């Protein structure tokens, strides 16, 4: 799997790569603003999925026949491409998972086995449930302590409070890179540096960042980084856990089964080397191959151009929505991107989302798996518009008119 030639950033041309964007919903051209939940897939990825299942379908790492070798080569080529994409030191540091949630649970269980009662784990008030519940389960199992970094009214981390929470008891900081609800971009490099000063490890939830900004795990110096394929234009059911080799070596296996073993007897089992120690059973082979294809597609474009463009879209939408009476933007951090969440006084987010859907506009409504964050803002949920590099200001103009129409109908 090789780097594709760099392409000029053209939204019009990019949109032609995504067949799902060329459909109608209720007689209206689809406007897809639910990229925070999942992204659409380019034709290159769809072709790769079809190629695997129609021609190369076989199990990997075990067969001597040609199809098995082709599937294995494709799967491992994808791993190496992802290693280079993240700038990981070794391919062994790239573990295929079911997604971000699976990766966090793997760390919570396996790294968690190295912790002792009284050890502390820090998360933030803006975390997705997937970066809350696994740590709560760990605390119940190992009698560790979970502490929460507060946020301010703009939806930014209280870094002074973070400094006060850090101590020699802190063993892990698990924090989102970009908030799925607020769009806040957290200063993860600063957080990592401070955590390392007290000997703590850091897990970065990159589910909302890998598709919006360049990620270099060695530059960040994070200990773990997790993301999902389906949010970065790849298949569902596949993701990646990056972990530093020494840490992964020290951690016990998360699951037992085929491929994660070296030798099995009824008396004792010895485990396979990395990365296979954490990849029990037949994996999502097509997903692994096509996640590499998705990143191969995405890497054709300058990440700085993508980041700047998506911030421009978010700023444009937020500025227009801010003119609405009784509408409140939830999340106004100085450093944010790609997401605009809002609530309207006296109107339930679900009702707005339903009316927008009838006008051909896909948004997400509800608590976005961040119920504690909703409690902080004292609201049941928000309407969330989340953008990708294939969205346009013209779509936002249509969205703004549709929001106005929906609010008028509901008043």
pLDDT digits (tens, 9 = 90+) for 269-312: 888 889 999 999 999 999 999 999 999 999 999 999 999 999 99
Catalytic residues: 369
Q: What is the pTM of this model?
A: 0.96
Q: What is the CA radius of gyration of the chain?
A: 22
Give CA–CA dist 124/405, Å, rounded.
36
| pLDDT of res. 264 | 86
Q: Any idea what DSSP says for residue 90?
A: -
In DSSP terms, which residues pair with 32 in a beta bridge? 362
Give CA–CA dist 177/293, Å, rounded.
23
Please state the domain extents for the chain.
11-38+303-410, 47-298
Helix (H) / strand (E) containing 39: none
Q: Burial level of 334, CB count in 10 A (0-12/13-18/19+)?
A: exposed
Q: Burial level of 218, CB count in 10 A (0-12/13-18/19+)?
A: exposed
| pLDDT of res. 168 | 97
**What fold is seen in the domain 47-298?**
3.40.640
Using the structure block, give the residue that is written with the tokens 């339930």: 348
| pLDDT of res. 237 | 98
Q: Any idea what DSSP says for residue 157?
A: B
| pLDDT of res. 313 | 97
pLDDT digits (tens, 9 = 90+) for 77-111: 999 999 999 999 999 999 999 999 999 999 999 99
Provide block-wise average pLDDT over 10 residues at a time, the chain (411 residues): 92 98 97 98 98 96 92 97 98 98 98 98 98 98 98 97 98 98 97 98 98 97 98 98 98 90 87 92 96 98 96 97 95 96 95 97 96 95 98 98 95 78
Question: By C-alpha distance, which of 229, 299, 235, 277 is closest to 93?
Answer: 277
Give CA–CA dist 31/16, Å, rounded.
14
Max Cα–Cα distance, the chain, nearest Å: 71
Q: Which CATH class is domain 11-38+303-410?
A: alpha beta
């Amino acid at each position: 799997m090789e780097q594709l030639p760099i392409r000029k950033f053209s939204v019009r041309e990019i949109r032609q790569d995504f067949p799902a964007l060329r459909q109608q919903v209720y007689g209206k051209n689809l406007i897809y603003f639910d990229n925070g939940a999942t992204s659409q897939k380019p034709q290159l990825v769809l072709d790769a999925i079809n190629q695997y299942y129609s021609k190369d379908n076989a199990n990997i790492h075990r067969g001597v026949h040609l199809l098995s070798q082709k599937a294995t080569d494709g799967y491992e080529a994808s791993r190496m491409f992802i290693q280079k994409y993240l700038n990981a030191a070794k391919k062994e540091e790239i573990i295929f998972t079911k997604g971000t949630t699976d990766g966090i649970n793997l760390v919570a269980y396996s790294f968690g086995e190295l912790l002792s009662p009284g050890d502390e784990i820090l998360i933030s008030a803006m975390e997705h449930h997937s970066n809350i519940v696994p740590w709560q389960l760990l605390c119940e199992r190992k009698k560790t302590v979970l502490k929460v970094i507060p946020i301010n009214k703009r939806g930014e981390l209280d870094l002074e409070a973070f400094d006060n929470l850090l101590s020699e008891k802190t063993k892990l900081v698990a924090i989102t890179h970009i908030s799925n609800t607020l769009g806040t971009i957290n200063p993860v490099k600063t957080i990592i540096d401070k955590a390392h000063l007290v000997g703590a490890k850091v897990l970065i939830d990159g589910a909302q960042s890998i598709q919006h900004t360049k990620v270099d795990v060695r530059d960040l110096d994070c200990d773990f980084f997790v993301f999902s394929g389906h949010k970065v234009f790849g298949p569902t059911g596949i993701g990646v856990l990056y972990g530093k080799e020494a840490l992964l070596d020290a951690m016990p296996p998360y699951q037992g089964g085929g491929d994660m073993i070296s030798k099995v007897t009824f008396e004792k089992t010895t485990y396979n080397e990395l990365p296979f120690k954490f990849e029990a059973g037949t994996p999502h082979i097509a997903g692994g191959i096509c996640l590499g294809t998705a990143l191969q597609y995405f890497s054709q474009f300058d990440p700085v151009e993508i980041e700047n463009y998506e911030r421009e879209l978010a700023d444009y939408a937020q500025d227009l929505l801010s003119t609405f009476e009784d509408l409140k933007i939830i999340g106004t951090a100085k450093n944010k991107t790609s997401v605009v969440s809002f609530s309207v006084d006296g109107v339930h987010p679900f009702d707005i989302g339903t009316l927008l859907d009838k006008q051909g506009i896909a948004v997400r409504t509800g608590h976005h798996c961040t119920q504690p964050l909703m409690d902080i803002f004292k609201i049941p949920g928000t309407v969330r518009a989340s953008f990708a590099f294939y969205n346009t200001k013209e779509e936002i103009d249509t969205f703004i008119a549709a929001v106005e129409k929906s609010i008028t109908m509901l008043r």
